[in-house]
Chains A and B, each alone.
Chain A
Amino acid sequence: MIFVTNFLTRRGTALLATWRIWRDTLLFAARAILTAATPAAYNSATRTVVMKQIYFTVVQILPGFTLFAALLSYVLIQIVVTTAASYGLSEYALEVSMRLLVLELLPLITALFVALRSSSAINTEIALMKINGELLALENAGVDTMRLEFMPRVIGGMISVLALTAFTSVIALVLAYLAVYGWQTWSLPDFSRIMGNVFQNTVLLGIFLKSLAFGLAVTVIPVAEGMATPRMLFMAPISVLRGMVRLFFLIMLIEVASLAFKYI
C-alpha cells in the first residue's frame, strides 16, 4: 500500500512540476512580449544585447548555414523534379518542391539548427548566471534582467529565425528555378505564375507566423528553463537537457499544428 502511495505521490509531484514549468514558460513568454512591445524598455544596453544575439545566431553562421541549406534544397528539388517527371507530373514538380521546402522544411530546419546552436548556449548561459548569482547581482544593482538579458534574447532569436528562413527560402527559390529551367531567363513568367499560385497572402502570413513561433520557442524555452534552475552547479546540465527536450517537443508541436491548420 505504501508503495502505491509513494509511487502516486512521486508521479503527482512530477506532473505538477511539468505543469508548473510550462505555465512559467507561458507566463515568461507573455511578459517578454509585453516588455518587447514597450518602447521605453529599450536602452543602449538592451540594443547591444539584441545585436549580439543576432550576431551570434545569424551573422556568424550565415555562410555555412546557407551553403548547407542550398545543398539540401538542391538535392530535394532534384529528387522531386525527377520523380515527378517519371510519373508524368512535371507540371507539379515546381509547386510541390516549393511547398515542401519553403513552407515546411526550411523553417523547420532553421528552427532546429538555431535550437541546437543558440538555444543550448542561451540555456547554459542563463542557468550559469542564475547559479552564480549574476542575475541577483544585476537586480540588486537596479538593472532589470528582463530588459537586459531575457527580452533582448527573445527579440534577437525571433529576428534570427526570420532572417535565416528568409535567406534560405530565397536561395531555394533561385535553385528551384535553375534546377527546373536551367541557366536562362525566358521561363520567368512561367515560374512566376506557379509562384503566384503557391504563395498566396495567407500562405505568406502562415510562414511569417510560423517563423515567429519558432523564434519565440527557441528563445523562450531555454531562458525560462535557465531561470528555473536551482542554484546548484550540478543542476546546469540537467537544466540544459530539460530545456532542449522541451524545445524539440515544442518545435515539433508547432510544425504539426501548422500542418494540421493548413491541410485539415
Chain B
Amino acid sequence: MKRPAGSSLIKNLEFKVGALLVSTVLLVVGFVIYTMYARGDFQRTQNLTLIAPKADGVSIGMPMTFSGFPIGAVKRMQLSEDGNVRLEIAIPSKDARWLRENSVFTLEKGFIGGAKIKAHTSNLKDQPLADGASRTLLTGDATEEIPVLLEKLKSILNNIADMTNKESQINQTLANVQDVTHRMTGEYGVLEGVLGGPEKARQVVAVLEKTNALLASLNGVSLKVDAVLAKTDSRLFGPQGVMDQTQESVAKLNAILGDARESLKKADALLANAQAASADLPRITGNVREATADMANLRTEIDDSVRKVNHLINEINKKWPFARDVEIKTP
C-alpha cells in the first residue's frame, strides 16, 4: 500500500516560506545596494579640498550646494598640521561643470538648522575646476555675530536711556531750547530768544535802526562826496578832510554790525546743536530697527524711547516760528 502524500497541515509550506525568504533577501540586498548607490558609491567623483579655520556644524555626508542644488558631499574631514580643517568634498563628475577656477566656497550657519557649504561661480565660462583642487572655505556665521550685535545694541540702548533721562544733557539742552524758543515767540522774536530778554532785544533793534539811519546818512554823505569829488580833490584828500571823517563813521558802523553778527552766530550754533541732536535720533533708531528685525521686545523699548524724543521734537517744531531755510538777514 502506498503512503498517502502530503499529510502536512499547511498547503505549499515550502513554497510559501521559500518565496518569503527569497523576497526578504532580495529586499535586504536591494536596499543595501540602493543605499550604496544613494551614497554615490557607484558614481565617478572628483575631489575638492576646502580649507577652513574651523568646521563647526560640518558633518560627513553634508551636501555642498550650488544655487540651492546639492552637487557634492563632504567625504572626509581632518585637522591639518597648521590647525585648519581640511574638508574633502566628493563631486560627481556630471556636477563638476558647475565649479570653475574662479568659484568661491562659503560656509554659512543660520539661526536654525545646520551649517551649509555653498559654492558660488560668477563666470561659468571660466576654466573648469581641476580634480583634487584646494580652495579656502570662507566662513560667514550669523550666529557668531549675535553676541557682538547684542553688545552693540545694549550700548545704543544705554545711550538712548541716558539721553532720555530727566537729568540728561539732551533734556537740559532741549529745556534750554524750549526756553529759547519760548522767548523767540515774544515781541522781538529770535533776537529776544538769542539775547535773553526783551530789553536787550530792544536795544539791538534800536542799534540796528540807528545803523540804518547812519547808512542812510552815509548814502547822503557819499553822494555829496561824489559831488565834491567832482569839484575839488585837494579838499577831500587833505588833512582833516571830509574823507577822514567818513572813514571814522564807517569804522564805527562796522564795529556795531560785527557785534550783531557775533550774537547771531551764537544763536545759530545753539540751533545747530539742537538740530544735530534731533537728526541723530532717527538715524540711530533706523540702525537699531535694521539690526533687530526679529527682536520685538527690544524694538518696543527703543520705540518707546524714540517716541518720547519725537514728541519733544514735535513740540519744538510747533513752537519754532520759522521755516528751516529762513535766515536772519542783516540789512
- Spell out A's residues near B (CB within 8 Å): 48, 51-52, 54-55, 58-59, 62, 88-89, 91-92, 159, 162-163, 166-167, 169-170, 190, 192-193, 195-197, 199-200, 204
Cβ contact within 8 Å between B10 and A52: yes
Interface of A is mostly: helix
- Spell out B's residues near A (CB within 8 Å): 10, 13-14, 16-17, 20-21, 24, 27-28, 31-32, 34-35, 37-40, 61, 63, 70, 73, 112-113
Cβ contact within 8 Å between B31 and A166: yes
Enumerate chain B residues within 8 angstroms of A196, measured Cβ to Cβ.
Answer: 35, 37-40, 61
With CB as the reference atom, state the residue of chain B lying closest to A58. Answer: B20
- Other contacts beyond A196-B35, A204-B32: 20, CB < 8 A: A51-B13, A52-B10, A55-B13, A55-B16, A59-B17, A59-B20, A62-B20, A89-B113, A159-B21, A162-B24, A163-B20, A163-B21, A166-B31, A167-B27, A190-B70, A195-B38, A196-B61, A197-B73, A199-B38, A204-B35
Enumerate chain B residues within 8 angstroms of A51, measured Cβ to Cβ.
Answer: 13-14, 17
Enumerate chain B residues within 8 angstroms of A91, measured Cβ to Cβ.
Answer: 113
Enumerate chain A residues within 8 angstroms of B34, measured Cβ to Cβ.
Answer: 192, 195
Question: With the chains together, A196 CA to B31 CA distance in Å?
Answer: 11
Given contacts A55-B10, A170-B27, contact A192 B37 (CB under 8 A): yes
Enumerate chain A residues within 8 angstroms of B35, measured Cβ to Cβ.
Answer: 195-196, 199, 204
Interface of B is mostly: helix
Cβ contact within 8 Å between A163 and B32: no
Question: With the chains together, A162 CA to B63 CA distance in Å?
Answer: 32
CB of B117, distance to nearest CB on chain A (Å): 14
CB of A123, distance to nearest CB on chain B (Å): 21
Cβ contact within 8 Å between B24 and A163: yes
Question: With the chains together, A177 CA to B17 CA distance in Å?
Answer: 30
Enumerate chain B residues within 8 angstroms of A48, measured Cβ to Cβ.
Answer: 13
Question: With the chains together, A55 CA to B44 CA distance in Å?
Answer: 44
Cβ contact within 8 Å between A193 and B63: yes
Enumerate chain B residues within 8 angstroms of A54, measured Cβ to Cβ.
Answer: 17, 20-21
Q: What 4 A-B pairs have minimum CB-CB distances, sorted nearest first?
A: A196-B38, A196-B39, A192-B38, A199-B35
Question: With the chains together, A92 CA to B21 CA distance in Å?
Answer: 34
Cβ contact within 8 Å between B38 and A55: no
Enumerate chain B residues within 8 angstroms of A59, measured Cβ to Cβ.
Answer: 16-17, 20
CB of A164, distance to nearest CB on chain B (Å): 9
Q: List 14 A-B contacts (CB under 8 A).
A: A51-B13, A51-B14, A51-B17, A54-B20, A54-B21, A55-B10, A91-B113, A159-B24, A162-B24, A166-B27, A170-B31, A195-B38, A199-B31, A199-B39
